[in-house]
Amino acid sequence: MNRSDFLAALRATLGPDGLSTDPSDLTHWGRDWTRSLAPDPLAVVWPRDTAEVAAVVRACAAAGTAIVPSGGRTGLAGGAVAAHGEVVLSLDRLRDIGPVDGLNRSVTVGAGVPNSVLQTALVPHGLWWPVDLASKGSATVGGNLATNAGGLRVLRYGHARNWVLGVQVVWASGEITQLGGALHKDNSGYALQQLLVGGEGTLGILTAATLALAPLPGPSEVALVGVRDLGAAVALFGALRQLPVVVNAFEALTDLCLEQVIAHTGMARPLQPCATYALFDVENPRGADLAEWLAGQAGLVQDAALATDRTQADKLWSYRERITESLQPRRPHKNDVSVPVSSMAGLAAEVAQWFATHRPGWQVALFGHVGDGNLHVNALAPSDLAQKDWRLACEQADQALYGLVAARGGSLSAEHGIGLLKKPYLSITRPAAELAAMRAVKRALDPGNLLNPGKIFDL
């Protein structure tokens, strides 16, 4: 079947508004938040339900046209980029939210439900899905699961994979299978739904999921604290954990990040300038006196703001949550590494030293999730450097960074995934035998290499 017959057949299946080859749609839907990779899909399709997803998969398999499954496209590793004439299969229309089972604390939802819509729907039930992302307005449940999203509350709740009980999947063959269900306990053989979580759409297409839910978190206390460096932030985290509080999140950002947020948003500087800031969010059921505790941390704390109400707390959070959008105009080269929390300060010092020695004059924005040992290293493009020179210089810096991370037993992706961007480096932190096992799984489940080919690894 030639290309126009193939597209006509898809259009006949999906209806006139179910497919587009409009160049602006191809650009918009063919990429994620990664801006260094140019999209070039053949078409974008918007099936209305799982049966239509399966029909698209069968048609693409018959035509030998690869598929890029697509969620909210907020990924940062190129996992949802369609750069080689693929069909972008958007799950955007799969937005059903089933009845909430309050006793079982679960709900079944379509893959296209945005995080913020889900959370709003759960509020009347006193429940929430504890995958809390800065990109919650656009990110979707399906995308969260395909990438095993992390976010701002991993310290307390873990990754997305901890909060899924079952999934509905469309395999590369076009068959539809329910994996798992609404069971909190099920020890009967392989938990295949967990294989698909974090699979970046390479093993099957998730069309619906039964999610485990948590009670809505109680009121929290939030502080932004100026400290001398990331080591001091880590030490403050250790001290905070000695208190009888439940730590929801413990984040850090350097002053360069704060400067960019202030410049981008127009918000006022919240504290006197310090080299680094820690932000923590705690539930405090036993009423520990956090102001007094902060005052007692004189060796670590240079300045601090403790929110006295929710509005102030949200404002303090926004200095952290708005870093990504604020760095975007500077063409950041992003990295997302993790090490044990005990190695976090050492790694940050080594990274700063490496850039100071080998890339003098570069601005490198460091921030991340201290409580998870997850450091975001964002090098900001010098305005006088051409894009291709910038790319090359960053690729060399990546090799050095991953070497430092590997020496500390770390991972080159803590939460963003591998996609296209990290693929060349995966073997630095994953042994050859493990990669061979991953390839064997991919070949078994997708023998035609139809689903998101070229992501994570090449076959």
Q: How far is the CB of 250 from ligand MLT (least distance, A)?
A: 13
Residue 278 CA to residue 283 CA, distance in Å, equals 17
Task: Output 166 or 419, the one with its CB closest to ligand MLT.
Answer: 419
Which helix (H) or strand (E) is 169 found in, with range? Answer: strand 164-170
Q: How far is the CB of 365 from ligand MLT (least distance, A)?
A: 9
Q: Which residue type, as a one-letter code, is found at position 81?
A: V
Residue nearest to ligand MLT (CB): 324
Q: Is residue 324 part of the contact set for ligand MLT (CB under 6 A)?
A: yes
**Which residues make beta-bridge pairs with 279?**
224, 251
Q: Which residue type, as a one-letter code, is found at position 134?
A: A
What are the residues whose beta carbons fall under 8 Å from the beta carbon of 191, sequence distance 6 or more?
A: 180
Half-sphere exposure of 77 (CA within 13 A, CB side): 30
Residue 53 CA to residue 62 CA, distance in Å, equals 14
Task: Output 76 or 456, the one with its CB closest to ligand MLT.
Answer: 76
Q: How far is the CB of 275 from ligand MLT (least distance, A)?
A: 20
The answer to whether the CB of 109 falls within 8 A of the CB of 102 is no
Residue 297 CA to residue 295 CA, distance in Å, equals 6
Q: How far is the CB of 415 from ligand MLT (least distance, A)?
A: 6
Site string for ligand MLT, 200-219 (x = CB under 6 A): --------------------
Task: Output 229 or 321, the one with its CB closest to ligand MLT.
Answer: 321
Residue 56 CA to residue 47 CA, distance in Å, equals 8
- Of 153, 333, 376, 422, the one binding ligand MLT (CB under 6 A) is 376
Task: Output 40 or 325, the one with its CB closest to ligand MLT.
Answer: 325
Task: Output 52 or 372, the one with its CB closest to ligand MLT.
Answer: 372
Task: Output 76 or 348, the one with its CB closest to ligand MLT.
Answer: 76
Q: How far is the CB of 416 from ligand MLT (least distance, A)?
A: 6
Task: Output 324 or 452, the one with its CB closest to ligand MLT.
Answer: 324
Residue 283 CA to residue 287 CA, distance in Å, equals 9
Distance of CA 315 to the CA centre of its chain: 22
Tokens in use for 2? Answer: 């030639």
Q: How far is the CB of 458 from ligand MLT (least distance, A)?
A: 25
Tell me the longest C-alpha to C-alpha distance in the chain: 74
Site for ligand MLT in 53-112 (CB under 6 A): 76
Site string for ligand MLT, 326-355 (x = CB under 6 A): --------x-x-------------------
Q: How far is the CB of 80 from ligand MLT (least distance, A)?
A: 15
Q: Strand runs (DSSP E) across 323-451, as ranges?
A: 333-338, 363-369, 374-380
Task: Output 56 or 252, the one with its CB closest to ligand MLT.
Answer: 252
**Which residues make beta-bridge pairs with 168?**
178, 208
Residue 187 CA to residue 346 CA, distance in Å, equals 40
Site string for ligand MLT, 412-431 (x = CB under 6 A): ---x----------------
The answer to whether the CB of 157 falls within 8 A of the CB of 128 is no
Task: Output 25 or 325, the one with its CB closest to ligand MLT.
Answer: 325
Site for ligand MLT in 263-322 (CB under 6 A): none
From residue 162, give the alpha-carbon distance in Å to each of 63, 104, 223: 37, 15, 27
| Total binding residues toward ligand MLT, as defined by CB under 6 A | 8
Q: How far is the CB of 205 from ligand MLT (least distance, A)?
A: 24
Residue 418 CA to residue 408 CA, distance in Å, equals 19
Task: Output 111 or 323, the one with its CB closest to ligand MLT.
Answer: 323
Q: Write out the residues near ligand MLT by the rule CB under 6 A.
A: 76, 134, 323-324, 334, 336, 376, 415
